[in-house]
Amino acid sequence: MTRKPPAPRTPAKPPARPQGDLFRLDSPLTAEIRGERSLMAFPFFALAKNAWMKPLTYQANAISIEVRPSASGVATIYDKEIVLYIASLMLAKIEIGETVTQDFVFTAHDLFTVTGANHSARSYGRLSEALERLQGTQIKTNIEAGGEGEEGFFSWLSEAKLHYSRTRGGERRLKAVKVRLCDWLFRAILLDRHVLDYAAAYFQLGPIERRIYEVARSSGEDRLETDLATFRLQIGYQNPLANFRNALKQIVASDSIPDYRLELIEQESPEGEAPRRGRRSTPVQVVLTRRPRALGSDEAGDSDASESVDAPAA
């Protein structure tokens, strides 16, 4: 999916009100895009452009995640853009001392501007489908949020509505999007404050590149090294390991991961290991290295200052 670069953020303005003054808008977003660290580190979303109808599971290092699809499929990495946008709106409100709730109202126009999507009728249709998946997808995890654990399933959005008006010709015109963020993510952002900035180029990446960036960014390390199978699990890639290896080779060639360089290092098989029948696969080590930062750089990843913002009582 080709995206134009997101528009630069402008200084904060007082929240606007839609015509008719029915509800207050939390947009436009005037700060950078930020996300909760657990959502960066672990595979909660399907790496698909079209509907993914199979459950997703992750079990490693005492972390358990189960994601079940709705009738319209599992929420995808592209649907995640909405979650990141909402989290960023929430953090922006906290930073200026506003009391935050789980309800957010914003315009599709601002969402598209921030994520670099076009403003076509097709984008509005995709927005409606994405909201349906975010509300319908069921998630179960043992990752605690705000010092509390949960048993059972939750959805990313417990409520999602599109508010329309009618033109004189009877056509519907989208005025605002109203959503309610789930308890789990709301607590994680408000109380844990383990949030990180995203690189501006994130929205121009493909699904696998996005996850590679998130895994590297959330690690907090300048160099991350792991084996191919473990990396595939953390990325959330659902196809065979050989396909994953080929996909990574293309990404290495394009060198497209913001702030990080990806390498695949082939390793010799242990001495004395008996050869296997058929085509032999050479073990591969995946290495992600942080690119040197320019002096005075304020790019994403230079600090985690958003973790130290004091929140007013909700």
280-306 pLDDT per residue, tens: 567 899 999 999 976 555 545 444 444
> What tokens were used for 236?
């959330």
The model's pLDDT over 62-108, given as tens digits with 9 standing for 90+, comes to 999 999 999 999 999 999 999 999 999 999 999 999 999 999 999 99
Name residue, tokens 């789990």: 184
Any long-range contacts for 247-253 (C-beta under 8 Å, 24+ apart)? 247/208, 248/208, 248/286, 251/208, 251/209, 251/212
Give the pLDDT confidence score for residue 267 in this predicted structure.
Answer: 78
| Other beta carbons less than 10 A from residue 229's beta carbon | 12
Q: How confident is the model at residue 309 (pLDDT cuts 50, 70, 90)?
A: very low
Q: How far is CA 67 from the centre of its chain?
A: 15
Predicted confidence band of residue 49 (pLDDT cuts 50, 70, 90): confident
Q: Do 104 and 89 touch, CB atoms closer than 8 A?
A: yes
Short-list 154, 160, 90, CA closest to 132: 160
Domains recognised in the chain with CATH numbers: 34-200+304-308 (1.10.10.10), 201-290 (1.10.10)
- Residue 312: its pLDDT value, please? 44
From residue 50, give the alpha-carbon distance in Å to each of 1, 69, 73, 203. Answer: 12, 13, 9, 17
pLDDT level of residue 167 (50, 70, 90 thresholds):
confident
Q: Is the pLDDT of residue 41 over 90?
A: yes
Which tokens go with 153?
């399933």
